[in-house]
Structure 1
Amino acid sequence: MNELISVAEAEALITRHMPSFGSERVELDVAAGRILREPIRAERDQPPFDRVMMDGIALRWSGSLPRSFAVCGVQLAGMVAQTLVDDGCCIEVTTGAMLPDGCNCIVPVEQTLREGDRYLLAEGYVPTSGQFIHARGSDCPIDALLLNAGIRIGAPEMAVLAANGVTDVEVAIVPSVAVVATGDELVDVGAALGEGQIRRSNDRALAAALRSRGFGRVALSQVADDLGATVSILGALLAAHQVLILSGGVSMGQRDHVPAALDALGVRCVFHRIAQRPGKPMWFGIGAQGQAVFALPGNPVSALVCAIRYVMPALLASMGAVAEPLEHVCLDEAVDTNANLTCFVPAHVQHDSSGRALAHPVPSRTSGDFSSLPRTHGFVQLPPGQNVAVAGTAAAFYRW
């Protein structure tokens, strides 16, 4: 299956064939960063009672009462509600306390003067009924939908879960991912370099992209340019992991053994080669036990672009994550494109005085030129049909 397909077709085929990784219940304290897989509803009204919002005094204000009030009690946070016995009295209150029964107004302590067992309102200060009272159910009523399935659990979501008594929560299972570098020329990061050798970097870059998106179960591996070794190592990795992401060995060269090895292992090819630059040789398939296999080109820019454009969204979607809104930018200068291929061009993004996002193209000289990528924030996607994208062209933008 070597016919070029479009970017949209590749995306649709991946979506159609990706497996679901399932879900599990975990304790709340280990759920941070995970993808929620159940809706969360309000345990009770929020706040669950009329809540005092300021330290001060609670009273019943009608606008015609005297401006001096006798203290008839104290209402602290966590106490059951006290009761106001007389309109000429007040109850001392603290922030977070229940509003005492019979009161309709909180006067901040800064607007009072204490004289013995009485409080006087500050000169010229006129309170209003209902002020500094957080009304019961005003944030949300009981059983209101608070969190949708598919969101990532961060600090605000954790607060909602805890406040509503959720002690354990259903989250997406994080798949086990093997990142595989291929090539005889590769040596590890700390190894001495021989003639014709380069250090492995694609696997580290891909692992970093995965981990920054919440994929913590990542293992790194390497295979040489040998069909037998490739079959052996990939077979073991397929047995141990739900996802394989390979870098290199997927083009049409005599030493590119990945497609043949995957075929020998029963991995069904869904597509091979996309009408795009960089990353044309990308391969995608599904293993006999439902493993997702992404074989990316070995050139660093190609590998990272394909991972960000296809692999990361596919994995998150298979975990039930709600897709992030697509970011759009405008080019601030012209850039060469291709009439027949979708082009992914690295770019630096900044905002003009009106808040418009402008992308400054930083084209890689080759798909092996990754040294300039740290000066960019991601890449723009430019469709085929023209040889130049002019300044002002609107484009989708994907962040590293």
Structure 2
Amino acid sequence: MAAATAATLALTALAALAGTAAPAAASGPPPTPAPPAALAAVPAATAASAPGGRAAPAAPASPTLPRPTGPYATGRDTLFLTDHARPDPWVPAAGPRQLLVSLHYPARPGSGGDPVPYMTTEEARLMLAQRGLEDVVPADVLGATRAHARNAARPAPGRFPLVLLSPGFGTPRATLTGLAEELASRGYVVATADHPYESTGTELPDGRVLTCAACDRVAAQPDDAARREVLASVATGRAADFSFLLDRLTGPHPAWRHARRIDPHRVGMAGHSIGGNAAASTMAADRRVDAGVNMDGTFFAPMPAEGLDGRPFLMLGTDPGHGPGAGDTSWDDGWDRLNGWKRWLTVRDSGHFTFTDTPEIGEQLGIEDPDPEATLSAARSTTITRSYVTAFFDRSLRGRPARLLNGPTPANPEVLFQNP
């Protein structure tokens, strides 16, 4: 099965990931309809498709991510790590499990080289092909999306909390770049991982390109229950990935040259879609993670019955899809099991990919979100995601007041506080 087709089928199988599932029957969780794919867009009309056979327009300019708002400049390094204790769960013949990790960090102003690339051209090509956009957006245009972190910049002095980020299923780590840069600009070290064989394409430093074998596995399952079981293993497998990553960042022989800038006693994790499920699974498996955020992800791997040992957790999702009593009952169950400080926020007019870079990139490329409920502007999507996630980590890892999390505010009328 071609990688793009398998990824499409796998994404179609992810019911509640989009937060648009039908109401649950009394017998259990609903089947999951297709979520809107990131950038799986309705392209704006082009000259090539207009009557009269006019010439196709020039290729669009590469998008630019919104500038981070914090006081720090940002740097970025990349790590390629091998866990010799575990075979790859999707392709055991490939050998040990490997991770490709972007590290964003507070940097000294004016240091470092050029801004780093958003993703490689091949990663962009595979992502566009999976979304059916290969003839709409050139791969080099998407790959050259302009971010703001500078390569190999000198780190700012001091020690900083660490935030781990995990992307959605079938989605590259690049889609969380804007959030990573924002957190780094506000004084966090941020480690965003690509989980091999769980994305449309991951290009390794040696030139190998790994496509989505996990998508093949999901697509091959005979029914929804079997698909959910595989997706649960994605979340728990990522928990093992992040425990290994923590060892390599905070252990006695760290893999990162600036590891001394990390405060190992202040660690949080956030994820989008299944990455949000992975945040809870990582907290359940590894006591070193002090706080977590799930951005619109179904808990395929359930929240532990005993909760998370009183550690704080934020659930940030679409409205109404991830509201109380909506189609994704895993959020109701997870909420009841959380036994520490917690918030359940939903965002009006949002879509599954509101919490990623997709709205900003799609808007600049003239690509409309196919989800009719996702009418929130790119600017508001970015502001809400950055503001609430940062406020949560400021409160949980730094002990700072976070009035934004106390209740509704006139400045953010789209954000609803749920208290079932």
TM-score (norm 2): 0.26
Larger relative CO (CA 8 A, sep 6+): 1 or 2? 2
Structure showing the higher strand proportion among its residues: 1
The structure in which a higher percent of residues are helix is 2
- TM-score (ref. length: structure 1): 0.27
